[in-house]
Structure 1
Amino acid sequence: MKREIIYDYSGITLGSLLTSMGLVMFLVPNKIAAGGISGLATVIHYLFNYPVGITMLAINVPLFITGVKVLGAQFGFRTLYGILVLSLATDYLVPYLPILTYDPLLGAIYGGLFVGTGLGLVFRFKGTTGGTDLIAQLVNYYFDIRVGRALLMIDFFIILFAAIVFNAELALYALIGLFITSKTIDLVQEGFNISKGAFIISDKGKKIKEEILDSLDRGVTVLEGKGGYTNNDKEVLLCIISRSEITKLKNLVYNLDQASFLIITDVHEVLGEGFGESFSESLEQKSKSE
């Protein structure tokens, strides 16, 4: 239990430091306010010359207190810890870290990568850094606006504010940075090992199923389906494969039935035999870390 707590807080610390490095070395020097409280603090920094870290702290702490009072203690000490580490590190690291580029495109790309990696680690270790997540939940509470929509609205207004204070071109770079940050967060949380889910609709489902079991050594689930136009009963095969097996599966299905219908989609965090840890192992690890 104690080891898990130390492990989680180490991850939150590392993630907060990486986020602050992205701000100090790339985003702030290039006036890229890529959404969030850090983006708002960047604009305020250039308007009034206030330190970015202290500004984030000044905004986040009242939000945290309000969130605890209104929504309860769901945010916990980890949120407060993430807020403090990110805010203090952002100002403390300024004299020690170089500004690696004054090209706004490079700043948006690499700043987004650093911030996304850092925030992804913080989220992965069950922490947060406050910010617009808190605002979005408060907006949801008071105005019944969905959290996802509230987040989008908040980031939009922050980038719009940056466009007014700086210029439209820098706001466009900020959108690039925001997009890269979002995608990097997902990648860090979900991992690089993205499997694929295949849905196969065919009149020769039995042959295809047997070939997948024999040639690919993958399990197949048979679902009952019905044609929307013909109203005929059809078997739908569901199979989870790795990315390296996509071409094999396509060729296998095509060779057996050229009229088949094949859908391949991304699948994240597959638990079970043949795909890393089992579901019970995942639950066991989660219970130990809580």
Structure 2
Amino acid sequence: MNPFLSKILIDVARKQLEKTKIDKPISKKEIEPLVRRLHVELSHAIKEYIFIAIGVFSAGFGLKGFLLPNSFIDGGATGISLLLENVTALDLSVLLIIVNGPFIYLASKTIGNKFAIKSIIAIAFLAIVVHFVDYPTITEDKLLIAVFGGFFLGLGIGMSMRGGSVIDGTEVLAIYLGRKLSLTIGDVLLLINILIFSVGAYVLSMETALYAILTYLSAAKTVDFVVDGVEEYVGVTIISNKHKEMRIMLTQKLRRACTIYAGRGGYGSSGESYDKDIIYTIVTRLELAKLQTEIDKIDRNAFVVMGVVKDLKGGMIKKKPLKNQH
């Protein structure tokens, strides 16, 4: 840790402890855990705001370099703002704040105030970038505008989400309505965007609305790519009578970490159960075929359950050779 930053964090920690311990000496052991927590919070906050800044400039490039000069629209709150910009005299930077305002208020009630505050900062920053930064117009080819405008806009939305905020508030509305109407978030977003594209077809043209759908698909795919990551992981649960051989195969041959937990079978001719070890491991999509081959070599009747893992943190996923379990 930087010595100057360390001194600041120690002073902040000491002041926080002084509020709770009046007329009592503060020991070093009491300060150190608080300093570590403050350091983690600060480092995470810096990383999150870097993500948001990258996202804002990327979205600004998608809007002013591709969509805005060619009167294109997108889905979501950004699409509503672009649509209104085409039919009103208001500037896009103003419309982004006005349109997202109700969604951010909803976010404060649905998700939390911290998320809402970060989203307000991100959207205000985007409005400033759109208003003051002059991006060059990249192309007038409609297909390139739709694909790459959607790509850079989706990259911006995804990076902002990685930073713990939104620059397009329709996701918040989708979460809220999904809870109220027992619909999935994807279904709600689809309905919202169908409405936006329908209005776009009526106000602008059918061709513009069709290109807007292409822009939206490009942006949505990019958001998934940025948020979920480049490498998709699969969680694999293996139940087999040859669990010892399975564990050795995973840890020694494939060099993958695994977690073993105790289980009891509940199926049999008279309902008897028996103890067995259940193995859980995580592999990438590219390693899945090799894992299945090795499992079949040991026990073709092994019960294997696989599911996509959206996010990972910590553990021993990528370190080779693997010496510990995750």
- TM-score when normalising by structure 2: 0.67
Match of residue 280 from structure 2: 238
Match of residue 287 from structure 1: none
* Residues in 1 aligned to 2:94 and 2:191: alpha-carbon distance in whole angstroms: 24
Larger Rg: 2
User: Would the aligned equivalents of 1:194 and 1:268 in 2 still touch at CA under 8 Å?
Assistant: yes
Match of residue 186 from structure 1: 224
Q: Map of 1:37-76 to 2, 5 A cutoff?
A: 37-48=77-88, 50-61=90-101, 64=104, 73=113, 75-76=115-116
1:256 partnered with 2:298: yes
* Residues in 1 aligned to 2:111 and 2:316: alpha-carbon distance in whole angstroms: 41
User: Would the aligned equivalents of 1:15 and 1:121 in 2 still touch at CA under 8 Å?
Assistant: yes
* Residues in 2 aligned to 1:165 and 1:232: alpha-carbon distance in whole angstroms: 69
User: Would the aligned equivalents of 1:33 and 1:158 in 2 still touch at CA under 8 Å?
Assistant: no
**Mean Cα deviation higher: 259-268 or 111-120:** 259-268
* Residues in 2 aligned to 1:217 and 1:70: alpha-carbon distance in whole angstroms: 43
Deviation at 1:36, TM superposition (A): 1.4
User: Would the aligned equivalents of 1:64 and 1:130 in 2 still touch at CA under 8 Å?
Assistant: no
Percentage of pairs with the same residue? 26
* Residues in 2 aligned to 1:71 and 1:252: alpha-carbon distance in whole angstroms: 44
Alpha-carbon spacing, 1:76–1:131, altered in 2? closer, same or farther (3 Å): closer
Question: The residue matched to 1:239 in structure 2 has which SS?
Answer: strand
1:112 partnered with 2:112: no
Match of residue 204 from structure 2: 166
* Residues in 1 aligned to 2:310 and 2:173: alpha-carbon distance in whole angstroms: 28
Gaps of at least 5 residues in structure 1 are 278-290
Question: The residue matched to 2:308 in structure 1 has which SS?
Answer: strand
Q: What are the Cα deviations for residues 236-257 of structure 1, in whole angstroms up to 9, with x where unaligned? A: 6432124453233122123233
Match of residue 84 from structure 1: 124
Gaps of at least 5 residues in structure 2 are 1-37, 320-326
Alpha-carbon spacing, 1:261–1:85, altered in 2? closer, same or farther (3 Å): same
User: Would the aligned equivalents of 2:174 and 2:188 in 1 still touch at CA under 8 Å?
Assistant: yes
Deviation at 1:80, TM superposition (A): 1.9
1:270 partnered with 2:309: no
* Residues in 2 aligned to 1:166 and 1:230: alpha-carbon distance in whole angstroms: 70
Question: The residue matched to 1:28 in structure 2 has which SS?
Answer: helix
User: Would the aligned equivalents of 1:63 and 1:134 in 2 still touch at CA under 8 Å?
Assistant: yes
User: Would the aligned equivalents of 2:74 and 2:82 in 1 still touch at CA under 8 Å?
Assistant: no
User: Would the aligned equivalents of 1:213 and 1:220 in 2 still touch at CA under 8 Å?
Assistant: no
Where relative contact order (Cα < 8 A, 6+ residues apart) is larger, the structure is 1
Match of 2:260 among 193, 216, 221: 221
| C-alpha RMSD of the superposition | 3.8
Match of residue 19 from structure 2: none
Q: What are the Cα deviations for residues 112-135 of structure 1, in whole angstroms up to 9, with x where unaligned? A: 221222122212222222532454
